[in-house]
Structure 1
Amino acid sequence: MSQSSVLPVKDSYGQLSDGRNVHRYSFTNSKNVTVRVIDYGCVITDILVPDKDGNVDDISIGFDCIEDYEPNPRCFGSICGRVVNVISGAKFVLDGKEYKMPATFSSDEKQAPKHGIHGGVRGFHLKLFSSWIEDDKVKMKYVSDDGEEGFPGELTTIVSYQLTNQNELVIEYSATTNKPTLVNFTNHAYFNLQKHDYPHIEDHILQIFADKYTVNREDDIFIPSGELRDVAGTPFDFRKPVRLGDRLKEGPHGRGFFHNFCLGESGPLKHAATLDHPPTGRRIEVRTTEPGMHLYTGCNTIPHTKGKEGAVYEPFCSICLETQHYPDSPNQEKFPSIVLRPGENFYSKTIYTFSLMSQ
């Protein structure tokens, strides 16, 4: 083991309603950073980091127990798949054949669901993975059956978590299939650098290293139009640090941000974003091999949700920095492909680094 290694510890996190056991893995490094994950939905349940005065707080919103994570409608801390984000019309064409998935989402809450999102009715965020410790990593595996949630092919996915003594939370994804299919994963952690129960993110400062973003439709504000537009001169220009309180109401209809930012080609590890919180001095830096990062600022889809330690989560109480391929990629010819074919190995890596602004 290298000096950067942090060995995880395994314990029980209770049982699902059907009696299956859920396991938790805890990492604590030499810098007093602790990360805990469970093998149900590959959920990150806790991220505890020191502030500039040495006070340690949990900066990820979530729940106290498996009973609350079992439904997890907001995907708190989970892995989303086999295709994260939206698929317009809940259908796509692959190799000339149309496939349909369950419609579970609508941009207008008054309308019946008409789009697919986060893998379907029971996406990966609601699956119990097999799990084990391998050296200094926790690995979690799930085999998705051919036809599950409308997707073709048996897909074998392995997600690994690692915490280093450099305060890097490393998430790696790999997948193989026996038929052509679609793959697009992310972790859906919600951050508040003050503390998970802090009521807003207005005093956070965000920088995103992207020159373009994917424009959403005027008539369906969470669905991409297919256009890639320069961020210059728009509310989506985060190339220089922006105080979120000065920008949140500029999102569509004052609902914040639900938008993908274009980072460059898939493959190379690149700096996607930096999130700062001057009052505590905490910082998160995001690096990824993915071509996009989805910025989600809670909008109005977190209505008065009871969370851990008695917290109540409200709109705009947290921020998601979701590294992934672009939303609705199967239906957008200009977007990077998310097709995985037999004989190919999907691989993706994202690193969240926790530090202080003065460092």
Structure 2
Amino acid sequence: MQALFPRTNAALLAAAMLMAGTAMARPTPTLTRAPFGTTPDGQPVERFTLDNAHGMRVQVLTYGGTLSAIEAPDRTGHVDDVVLGFPTLAGYTVDSAQGGLFFGATVGRVANRITRGTFVLDGQRYHIPPTEGTTALHGGRRGFDKQVWTVEGTELAADSASVTLKLVSPDGQEGFPGTLTTHVTFALNTRNELSLHYRATTDRPTVVNLTNHSYFNLGGEGSGTVENHVLQINAAAYTPTDAKALPLGTIAPVAGTALDFRTPQRIGARLRDSMPQMLHAHGYDQNWVLNPARPDAPVSGTPASGAPVTGAPVLAARLSDPASGRVMDVLTTQPGLQAYTANSLDGAYAGPSGRTYRQGDAIALETQHYPDSPNHPDFPSITLRPGQTYDETTIYRLGVEPVSASAP
């Protein structure tokens, strides 16, 4: 699978030289914690900073299980924050929450959309509060992104630093059945890999689909459009949607469409394509059927039933920025990838740089199960039962490439 996203020897050498230079200045990982304000209802929030030996730094908030910053060096060693965020807690509790933007948040109990906010499980119908017209998006009105998680533990080792957050969602919260106990471990290692390990258990049959909603801009937060970023996705198919972004229940080929990223493509090349899927979403906001998870998936008609990939994460996508030289590989155990070009950002919010965020200023790469899975029995199941453990991992691996390596 690695051959799908080849990395040149020159790129590896550049990355090694960069890492060697910064390692002498910062030889060991560090982990620090500090207060990060108080929510409107009086709950204290903490920020954890994970720092490795190679110029990479990650910040995690207990509010929403949020990745508030991911700092990484470019090909010259200059460090920038490569995710959009806010300098204060109010940006997350007020601006992001009211705008339905989910900046960097852990999204659940069910990420993505549920048609009409309703589904049937074991013969019983459940109702989730709608948040997007008649659709329930990202877990209802008070999903996991709008709650303060507890700190379950931290770990500092020779080659990594990590923090584990915990959230208990009671039976009936936002209409979902069962008390769900969720743990997410954020770990940064010396290979510039940020891993997110999700685990969850329940006391009643329920549905679970967790993801992280970071908005990436490898040129740096506040640097403008990502249209010149280059994207490659390991997927030959996607799940078509209607005009309300709700899946039709079928799988279609990406070949010959603006959604074909099987080879590296500049994001802006077909961003304004007249394909109905693009018109409905005002850009990219689709779910790709990842090849490793569904090797037998059909490319038309109704999908055969299948299970998500298990075991070690596999390479799902690569994002690169020719200007800075930064490259990010996305590896996951999940069967789907929702790529979203921040189509709803309208300049109403500004980040730590003081610059406003506008449409196309970032791309979210949300590893997850397919949208509206509870209403499509032929999609990989997101049902979790007592005695089972939801166990998924996503890795963001940062590096650099030489000047010409990012060109499609």
The equivalences for 1:83-232 within 5 A come to 83-105=110-132, 113-135=133-155, 136-217=161-242, 219-220=243-244, 222-232=245-255
2:109 corresponds to: 82
Unaligned runs of 5+ in 1: 106-112
Q: Quote the offset at 1:205 in angstroms.
A: 0.1
The equivalences for 1:280-319 within 5 A come to 280-319=324-363
Q: Please give the alpha-carbon distance, in whole angstroms, between the structure 2 residues aligned to 1:98 and 1:208.
A: 36
- The answer to which of 6-15 and 47-56 deviates more is 6-15
Q: Quote the offset at 1:311 in angstroms.
A: 1.9
The alignment status of 1:257 with 2:277, answered yes or no, reads: no
Unaligned runs of 5+ in 2: 1-26, 156-160, 294-307
Q: Please give the alpha-carbon distance, in whole angstroms, between the structure 1 residues aligned to 2:218 and 2:147.
A: 28
2:305 corresponds to: none
Q: Quote the offset at 1:230 in angstroms.
A: 1.3
Residues 210, 262 of structure 1: 8 Å contact kept? yes
Aligned AA (1:197) = G
2:262 corresponds to: 239
Residues 74, 302 of structure 1: 8 Å contact kept? no
Q: What SS is found at the alignment partner of 1:200?
A: coil
Residues 328, 396 of structure 2: 8 Å contact kept? yes
Q: Quote the offset at 1:19 in angstroms.
A: 1.9
Q: Please give the alpha-carbon distance, in whole angstroms, between the structure 2 residues aligned to 1:89 and 1:76.
A: 24
Instruction: Spell out structure 1 runs of 4+ moving beyond 6 A.
Output: none
Q: Please give the alpha-carbon distance, in whole angstroms, between the structure 2 residues aligned to 1:79 and 1:121.
A: 14
Q: What SS is found at the alignment partner of 1:207?
A: strand
Residues 7, 137 of structure 1: 8 Å contact kept? no
Q: Please give the alpha-carbon distance, in whole angstroms, between the structure 1 residues aligned to 2:32 and 2:135.
A: 40
Residues 5, 163 of structure 1: 8 Å contact kept? no
Deviation string 1:326-352 (CA, Å, 9 cap, x unpaired) is 010001122100000011111000000
1:267 corresponds to: 310
2:46 corresponds to: 23
Q: Quote the offset at 1:302 in angstroms.
A: 4.5
Residues 347, 356 of structure 2: 8 Å contact kept? no
Q: Quote the offset at 1:301 in angstroms.
A: 4.7
Q: Quote the offset at 1:304 in angstroms.
A: 3.0
Q: Quote the offset at 1:303 in angstroms.
A: 4.8
Q: Please give the alpha-carbon distance, in whole angstroms, between the structure 2 residues aligned to 1:137 and 1:201.
A: 30
Deviation string 1:166-194 (CA, Å, 9 cap, x unpaired) is 00000000000000000000000000111
Deviation string 1:88-108 (CA, Å, 9 cap, x unpaired) is 111000001110010110xxx
Q: 1:51 aligns with which of 74, 80, 91?
A: 74
Alignment RMSD (CA, Å): 1.5
Question: For residues 81 and 47 of structure 1, do their structure 2 counterparts lie closer, same or farther at Cα, with a shift above 3 Å needed?
Answer: same
Greater helix fraction, Structure 1 or Structure 2: 2
Q: What SS is found at the alignment partner of 1:248?
A: coil
Deviation string 1:215-243 (CA, Å, 9 cap, x unpaired) is 112x43x1111111111111111000000
Q: Quote the offset at 1:200 in angstroms.
A: 0.5
Q: Please give the alpha-carbon distance, in whole angstroms, between the structure 2 residues aligned to 1:182 and 1:244.
A: 33
Residues 213, 230 of structure 1: 8 Å contact kept? yes
Q: What SS is found at the alignment partner of 1:330?
A: helix
Rg bigger for which structure? 2
Residues 221, 353 of structure 2: 8 Å contact kept? no
User: TM-score with structure 2 length normalisation?
Assistant: 0.83
Q: What SS is found at the alignment partner of 2:250?
A: strand
Aligned AA (2:379) = F
1:346 corresponds to: 390
Question: For residues 300 and 17 of structure 1, do their structure 2 counterparts lie closer, same or farther at Cα, with a shift above 3 Å needed?
Answer: closer
Q: What SS is found at the alignment partner of 1:32?
A: coil
